[in-house]
Chains A and B, each alone.
Chain A
Amino acid sequence: MNPIELLIQYWPNYLEGLWVTVQLAGVGAILAAFLAPMLAIVRLNGHPVFSIPVRIYVSFIRGTPMLAQLFLIYYGSGQFRPFLQEWGLWSFFREPYNCAMLTFVISSTAYQIEILRGGLMGVPAGEVEAAKAVGMSPVSLYRRVIFPHAYRIAWPALGNEVILLIKASALASVVTIFDLLGETRLIFSKTFDLSAYLWAALLYLALTAVLVWGWRRAEILLSPQFFKSGRT
């Protein structure tokens, strides 16, 4: 079978897989984006009782393979089945999709904390002092001065993190999820045709390329003052 025939026969499978990959990486990154800012503040300015656990969490996640984290949650939760059933959580951990999503959120949160920490540290002290001098409350200080600047600094690094998450989401296929790689493995096992992987590779590259492009557009929207000279 030539590559084109394979694509004609299996394109619905690829699209379904692509959609699952986008969901896993997209929802994972967004949920992590809700958790990370608070924890980044704790990591930087919190009392040691809170900041040290955050540091250990970040170091642990960054120091272990995501596949091991996924297995720890997916297979490891089985060991606590009676307990989880009692709390009504077993129906959550039973589904590989939920476990994969949970792993991606936990992992991406740790990486985003590290990236935001860099961004927060890059905000000039003068801006913070000026905001305090005009009497801003701590909440509006963070909302109006610190985070807007920190996110502009961290934006490119956050884009890298989302790309890493898209790539890492391929691990979901190992726990029987039919994401893009999962569908591809199924197609390969039916056809033994290597072009099955070729199309998957092109789709992953296309997905990354779209993200890079969109991220760059968003960067220009976030900091138009840096791009006024006609350079895009």
Chain B
Amino acid sequence: MFDLFAYGDAGWGDELLAGLGITLQLALLALPLGLLLGFAFSTLSLANSGSLRLVARLYTTTMRGLPEILTLFVIYNGVGVLLNLVMKSIGADPVEFSPMLAGVIALGMVFGAFAAEVLRGAFQSLDPGQTEAAQAIGMTPMQIFTRVKVPQVWRFALPGLGNLWINLLKDTALVSVIALDDLMRMTKVAAGFTKLPFNFYLAACLIYWILCLISEAGLAKMERHANRGVRRAGS
């Protein structure tokens, strides 16, 4: 049964590995986009202007309330339709919107909405006295952000962001529905070819599970590092 997963022409090991590569690529590209959106919308949701706060609230509420797969379809079909309208209007040939790009954008936008809420909580738990102290010794707003705020926000937000990363890893499976050759889709191909769907889907599940367990271990380590030097009550 193990030669099913052998490397090379005989087994499906290399195909699954290639799919895993796409899955990881997708997750690692969506992560920075999501963090960027998260920082942007958490800043908006803490802005003085009520209309900016409303924009942030609308974005986070909508994106968190919609099924991820619906967001993916809207981005994939919607941007595709818009792109072709634009191409038509400038007289160019219609282009194919890449599923990879659609996946990165959709997953990044979902991650961003959840991350914005996590980061908002983290920014709100900062001690304002520290910002004032930093201002008093003449730090620029940028310096305050990178040297005083971010290291602490990081510490507060890490558990929440870690959960979001694990959700992101799992959500990458959805892109198989829009014909991207990720782990899930390669599994489907292998399952259809060998007529052994149970073996292959179980293998895919185990691979995702291992990814999550590795992530959990890594995140625990990062949390310990981020919390070094913090006194804990009662320990």
Contact = CB atoms under 8 A, between A and B. Distances in A.
B184 A68 contact: yes
Contacts of B77: 188, 194, 197
A22 interface: no
B69 A79 contact: no
Given A65-B173, A68-B173, A205-B62, A76 B202 contact: yes
B197 A201 contact: no
Contacts of A200: 70
B71 to A, nearest CB: 9
A111 interface: no
B198 interface: yes
A71 B67 contact: no
A75 B187 CA distance: 11
A217 interface: no
A69 interface: yes
Nearest to B78: A194
**Residue among A64, A168, A170, A185 with max Cβ neighbours from chain B (10 Å):** A64
A2 to B, nearest CB: 15
Interface in B2-44: none
Contacts of B81: 192, 194
A194 B198 CA distance: 36
Nearest to B177: A174
B67 A181 contact: yes
A60 interface: yes
A59 to B, nearest CB: 8
B184 A62 contact: no
Given A65-B208, A197-B78, A201-B62, A71 B70 contact: no
Given A64-B209, A68-B184, A201 B74 contact: yes
A67 B173 contact: yes
Interface in A18-56: none
B223 to A, nearest CB: 18
Given A167-B67, A171-B69, A197-B70, A79 B204 contact: no
A29 to B, nearest CB: 15
A80 interface: yes
The secondary-structure label for the interface of chain B is helix
B65 A205 contact: yes
B197 A204 contact: no
A167 B196 contact: no
B205 A72 contact: yes
B74 A181 contact: no
A60 B208 CA distance: 9
Nearest to B204: A68
B66 A167 contact: yes
A78 interface: yes
Contacts of B213: 59, 63
A127 B216 CA distance: 34
Nearest to A173: B69
A194 B75 CA distance: 10
A166 B68 CA distance: 11
Contacts of A194: 74, 77-78, 81
B182 to A, nearest CB: 10
A64 B172 CA distance: 11
Interface in A158-172: 163, 166-171
B235 to A, nearest CB: 18
A63 B66 contact: no
B188 A71 contact: yes
B67 A67 contact: no
Contacts of A60: 205, 209
Nearest to A56: B209
B201 A62 contact: no
A208 interface: yes
Contacts of B198: 72, 75-77, 79-80
27 contacts: A59-B209, A60-B209, A63-B209, A63-B211, A63-B212, A66-B170, A67-B173, A67-B177, A67-B184, A68-B204, A71-B184, A71-B188, A71-B191, A71-B201, A72-B198, A75-B198, A79-B195, A79-B196, A79-B199, A167-B68, A170-B69, A192-B81, A197-B78, A200-B70, A201-B62, A204-B70, A205-B62
Given A72-B205, A205-B65, 4 more contacts: A71-B191, A171-B69, A200-B70, A205-B62
